[in-house]
Structure 1
């Protein structure tokens, strides 16, 4: 074993730990690994930056833009209107149609975007039908993964593995080459969710309506008593404030200090600051009450056209792992959070200093004319029904035609997928389906830098000989059981790694090893690459294994164990199906 192999294997081990624990953002981890390999001389400067010019990286970036074009013209949201109507008919009907619709959409656009669009729709249906939101949201997330494995462009992982195959002189994946097995996964996964999975999802409604589902039926706000307030000079327990309004609890601050006395002994004074908990209806009454000023932490009153907005913290955003104060949330947006649902609990105290995690749900008030700006931001995903942006419906047909043409051109081999996707992005802007600013903003740069970094890790595995060393070990152990056992082993390994770390990082590390293993065993590498592609896009056991799971984690009031309970049998089912059918679709 050479020094280079030892260094690369050490970096791989470090990568697994860092990606799994996310002590650093995943994109930063990838860049640190790339820089380390560059400084150690394992890769050249040209090889270090080759990941950013890789067709997979460019294609994935282009697909973000094409997905945004469909969204901005209202093509995706139109389907949501139909879902809302079906919800009044039957829960099972809307579940079936929603899973089918999201699955089909996810085969051609970014599945995170598809889930983000349907998330508020699912919450509205849950409210109208009296169903626990989680029983719609988890099938929604899983269906997006079912659909994502049906085409080459369904997930960024499929594109990445296909690009790695092409770089090794192998034939890249066809647009619909994965569709046969993908449909089997889709059918089996949907049947499992209908017959078993939905029944395993806890019915955590807790409250009667959607607002209470989010914890906003009883949230915290701060008011200031002005001299003309009717409650000034009155004992808190008998004040008009408590008598006229349904307020859950009150904390009185005077001169910056909390008055720790019973309510029947506190005489309210002008200038007192009161922290009160109340529902949405009484919140609006407070705003209009004479002698009461609503003070947000920004120090300014909310405008008359302000609306209440719920938002999920996005994975890898500036708020993920940081507090509102650390992220300078108030100075950036000019507003403050009213409440947050944190790991299934509603936490309303010390919001500014509490570290937030992906999947946490924030509640804040925002002026209506700023809603579009918030919708564009990648810090969080708005899930409230209010404030949906205005769509360019007149260009809906144009956007759909462009995406269809890109898919058709790639499927028929007229142009490579990367070329078609780039042309499609240009047409989206030229036809005004998107503005240039929206096109740039649609790209998830974290994914781009992650791909740019981890692709070089695969290069280092090959160049150092580490991939061949690991391949030889696999051939000597699992290979004795036959090539089908290798397919099963690669699928299982990819599935387990993906539950702990980035699916793209997992694929970038294992794909070169799969190719080397196939060469050592003397068989076609395509079955092994397909095992990696399918497994890396089917993560059901944890809320962090796939971005759509993270997106629904907070709104669905899920716990970590919920994904283990529902997702583990599904992972096992797909592992068995992959072991049986991959050698049939792609013979050795």
Structure 2
């Protein structure tokens, strides 16, 4: 144990705590660690910043662009139609279709994009067939994760480990090198969900409408503005209703016409306002001058849905700019032209009060009141995903053929060895731009920059482990304690450590930490590096036990109305099963 090794392990220990606690965002933690290594002299600036020019980082950025181009072209729009038709015939057949479709798409398209594409359709199918969305959304996420380990480009983790291997003198992972073992995992996953997992999934009540689903009945009411109201003649944002009572006005009915309530709506005598408030504010309104309560009945969706406004559900995506910020900080209503958040489903609870001050988390579901134009703006917002309806943005079907040809070309060029994957992906992106299949502004928006910065940062951890000898120290400990039982036991241990760790912190960070140690351990035992690298690669993406284990698990948390224990109940036996299977099939496909 040298001073440098002690510093590296200490910094990584702090990083792990930050990753797990989420006190800072994952990308912030990764960049912080990278800076610490450079400041402490562990890495030179060139070594510390090498992650930004690493082929793995560039490839991941390119794959985000390719996935987005395919997604927006409409090439996959008929997939949802097919899924809807199957789902309405048979629930078990629907579960199979969801996992197979998600798995097939995720092998070549970013799994977050796949879940974003299929989630609204799956939710609609669940509601049409009167089954709980929880019965289908977890299979959707699991299918996407299992499909992602079937090819090199299935997940950013696969590309990351391939880059680490190449940097240490090993052969990069081939495009379809993972496929055989990945398909075994996918088949086992489907069989598990069909014969065991689906019986462990929660079967929560399906609400009649969104107001019931979000327990809004006691928080919505109607008031009438009388001629002596101080709010008459004032814009809504400046009225005493907003300034003094701090209530949200969702809709204005004037002369039998329903108007959308924007911050600039001028209030008039006789206006009927639909408002969201709690019991205490209801009491205050009764005492407010110039206000008359028209209705105290529980309102339903039809009371808020009209020719002008509707209720929408939207999920805060994992890499959203909104994560960690409040609606007030985001100026959400003004930014979205008056669309109003009336409730938030945050993990196990539904929030109705102090919404503007609530800090948002990835996976939070927002109940939003919006008109047609506001809804269009919401659909174009990259930071949220509308999940309450299957209608998507207008597709440009003329782009389908060039986008698919370019996508297939990227895969085949890399698979046949005609070009390195990073070169193949870069050329593919250039061709997308030249064929006008994607605009430059869409290109930059499609890249999940948090992931790119996180990858660049975590690569510095692997570099520090290797440079200081910390990887050798840790691998030596594992070889001495477990390696005496043989390479099979050590491989099994690496798989177990990886999937347990990735259930509580970033899968890419886990892979970046363990891949260098796995390489050194294999060399110390005098066996092939390949099976150990594959154990880390597969295990880093097969995380089913927690909602924070992978982005798609986080995305379905709120829409599925899941609890943390649901993931443990369904995911724990599944992860144990895959661990046992992996201990045998990885050495079979990748001999020692």
Question: TM-score, normalized by length of structure 1?
Answer: 0.88
- Determine if contact 1:26/1:450 at 8 Å carries over to the other structure: yes
Matched, 1:282 2:303: yes
Counterpart CA distance in 1 for 2:287 and 2:29 is: 56
Matched, 1:364 2:368: yes
- Report the equivalent of 1:199: 199
How has the CA–CA distance of structure 1 residues 312 and 522 changed in structure 2, closer, same or farther, with 3 Å as cutoff?
Answer: same
Matched, 1:153 2:153: yes
Counterpart CA distance in 1 for 2:536 and 2:365 is: 33
- Determine if contact 1:251/1:274 at 8 Å carries over to the other structure: no
Matched, 1:120 2:101: no
- Determine if contact 1:220/1:275 at 8 Å carries over to the other structure: no
Counterpart CA distance in 2 for 1:531 and 1:543 is: 22
Counterpart CA distance in 2 for 1:505 and 1:274 is: 56
RMSD: 2.7
Matched, 1:14 2:35: no
Deviation per CA, 1:4-35: give whole Å up to 9, x if none.
10000001111111111110000000000000
The 5-angstrom pairing of residues 34-113 of structure 1 reads 34-113=34-113
Counterpart CA distance in 1 for 2:28 and 2:218 is: 36
- Determine if contact 2:221/2:275 at 8 Å carries over to the other structure: no
Q: CA deviation at 1:427?
A: 1.7
- Report the equivalent of 1:326: 329
Counterpart CA distance in 2 for 1:2 and 1:227 is: 79
Counterpart CA distance in 2 for 1:274 and 1:445 is: 50
Q: CA deviation at 1:275?
A: 10
The 5-angstrom pairing of residues 300-379 of structure 1 reads 305-335=308-338, 336-379=340-383
Match of 1:516 among 507, 516, 520: 520
Counterpart CA distance in 1 for 2:402 and 2:277 is: 55
Counterpart CA distance in 2 for 1:52 and 1:273 is: 60
- Determine if contact 1:317/1:380 at 8 Å carries over to the other structure: yes
- Determine if contact 1:102/1:140 at 8 Å carries over to the other structure: yes
Larger displacement relative to structure 2 (50-59 or 312-321): 312-321
The 5-angstrom pairing of residues 166-177 of structure 1 reads 166-177=166-177
Matched, 1:503 2:527: no
Matched, 1:566 2:570: yes
SS of residue paired to 2:522: helix
Matched, 1:477 2:481: yes
How has the CA–CA distance of structure 1 residues 258 and 222 changed in structure 2, closer, same or farther, with 3 Å as cutoff?
Answer: closer
Matched, 1:407 2:411: yes
Q: CA deviation at 1:368?
A: 3.0
- Determine if contact 2:321/2:383 at 8 Å carries over to the other structure: yes
Counterpart CA distance in 2 for 1:459 and 1:272 is: 68
Q: CA deviation at 1:401?
A: 1.4
Q: CA deviation at 1:284?
A: 4.2
SS of residue paired to 1:310: strand
Deviation per CA, 1:48-94: give whole Å up to 9, x if none.
11101101101111111111111111112220011112222111122
Question: Where do 5+ consecutive residues of structure 1 fail to align?
Answer: 230-240, 286-303
- Determine if contact 1:368/1:387 at 8 Å carries over to the other structure: no
- Determine if contact 2:345/2:558 at 8 Å carries over to the other structure: yes
- Determine if contact 2:147/2:182 at 8 Å carries over to the other structure: yes
How has the CA–CA distance of structure 1 residues 251 and 63 changed in structure 2, closer, same or farther, with 3 Å as cutoff?
Answer: closer
Counterpart CA distance in 2 for 1:587 and 1:420 is: 29
Deviation per CA, 1:430-483: give whole Å up to 9, x if none.
222221111110100000000010001110001111111111111111110101
- Report the equivalent of 1:290: none
SS of residue paired to 1:364: strand
Counterpart CA distance in 2 for 1:11 and 1:549 is: 28
Larger displacement relative to structure 2 (305-314 or 532-541): 305-314
- Report the equivalent of 1:383: 387
**Number of residue equivalences:** 550
Q: CA deviation at 1:388?
A: 1.8
Q: CA deviation at 1:327?
A: 3.5
Question: TM-score, normalized by length of structure 2?
Answer: 0.88
Deviation per CA, 1:255-295: give whole Å up to 9, x if none.
xx76369xxxx58853469997622112247xxxxxxxxxx
Deviation per CA, 1:314-367: give whole Å up to 9, x if none.
224333233222333234334331111122332211111223322111011334
How has the CA–CA distance of structure 1 residues 426 and 249 changed in structure 2, closer, same or farther, with 3 Å as cutoff?
Answer: closer
- Report the equivalent of 1:259: 283
Matched, 1:456 2:460: yes
Counterpart CA distance in 2 for 1:274 and 1:51 is: 62
How has the CA–CA distance of structure 1 residues 212 and 205 changed in structure 2, closer, same or farther, with 3 Å as cutoff?
Answer: farther
Matched, 1:585 2:592: no
Counterpart CA distance in 1 for 2:220 and 2:83 is: 35
The 5-angstrom pairing of residues 240-255 of structure 1 reads none
SS of residue paired to 2:59: helix
- Determine if contact 1:74/1:396 at 8 Å carries over to the other structure: yes
How has the CA–CA distance of structure 1 residues 40 and 84 changed in structure 2, closer, same or farther, with 3 Å as cutoff?
Answer: same
Counterpart CA distance in 2 for 1:440 and 1:220 is: 41
- Determine if contact 1:309/1:386 at 8 Å carries over to the other structure: no
Counterpart CA distance in 1 for 2:78 and 2:512 is: 36
- Determine if contact 1:250/1:274 at 8 Å carries over to the other structure: no
SS of residue paired to 1:89: coil
- Report the equivalent of 1:426: 430
How has the CA–CA distance of structure 1 residues 443 and 221 changed in structure 2, closer, same or farther, with 3 Å as cutoff?
Answer: farther
How has the CA–CA distance of structure 1 residues 224 and 468 changed in structure 2, closer, same or farther, with 3 Å as cutoff?
Answer: same
Deviation per CA, 1:33-56: give whole Å up to 9, x if none.
000000011101111111011011
Counterpart CA distance in 2 for 1:565 and 1:375 is: 34
Counterpart CA distance in 2 for 1:535 and 1:547 is: 15
- Report the equivalent of 1:297: none
